[in-house]
Structure 1
């Protein structure tokens, strides 16, 4: 069936393809099909079925020519330098941006410019260095200072503060769990004992941690809020 000018214009309106996409010589032999007008098929072929998944390179066919090859009696897109270049550009893998910063140091505690030589740092481990290996730490380039450094965040600051506080707690004496039912947290040199009378809330101490409270030399159960709630529930259920 001969394509008329009106039919070509109708195809243009429906697919967004240029009216010149099918020239007069190819119009009676070929048609453009597919969900994204990405197929060039014989005009008598079954309706073109595509995956209907939009791909970047399909944009290139909106200005391409669906052309009939009389020798091969087939329809194909006319691969002009412009179309070839467009497809290559659209399908080229995305290049990853060159990182501006990198993490270095004996303990991974330094954030420096990517172009800087690796620096070992002082190679003396500090507990807070563990914070730089957590999701809270992000080695980033600061546009204001034009330098690399650890991005400031409450989570990272809290981690460093807690690590330093824990490191400052004296380790000479230490604490131990005592009592018939392991319900006491006392200094290691303590001789404290309990009445050995069982209570349901003593189960709660099995999940608690015995140690120094903050920087003091006082031994006690940590995770106080959780422990207190557990004891309340145990007593209510008794």
Structure 2
């Protein structure tokens, strides 16, 4: 886990939209969840490819840069790519190990990113504040009150876009010996089911995955892509 100085090196000079990680690396969320993801990242020097996700690149091409929330930023490839493209980036991550790598990646690229060390539902994000909320293959735990789904929607500003991408077919898998049970997680269809007349669905489809070479998850061949615009 990074210390307070390192975690804030890449924060833009203007007052941030959300609080940056505080000194001593304060984390908002379930400590067990953080520990689980820290262990996964610590097992490898680099877990992901280091390149932006293909569905994000494709869907952002038609959008004017604005304020973006990168949910589950991992080692920071999407956040850095967005910042290079002129986006004002806030990146959220549960794992302190991943977040430290992301901070270093942004520093090396010399781009400003605001970092939040928190679970999505514990992040106290400013409501309706982001022109784009991007969640690429997020591991969001399902709850009876649909807290994660509602947090994604609540963060999008009027006129803004929610982009949720996941691996096709995982939602129908049977529980396995590793402890993975798809019923525990949020899938795009669950978010789509909450959309009302305040939203317009622009994309809701399964498509072949444009996958960065290397990194975990490279074996998945198809994506579920949900892109919805908040009208008001």
TM-score (norm 2): 0.21
Higher relative contact order (CA 8 A, sep 6+): 2
TM-score (norm 1): 0.20
Which has the greater radius of gyration? 1
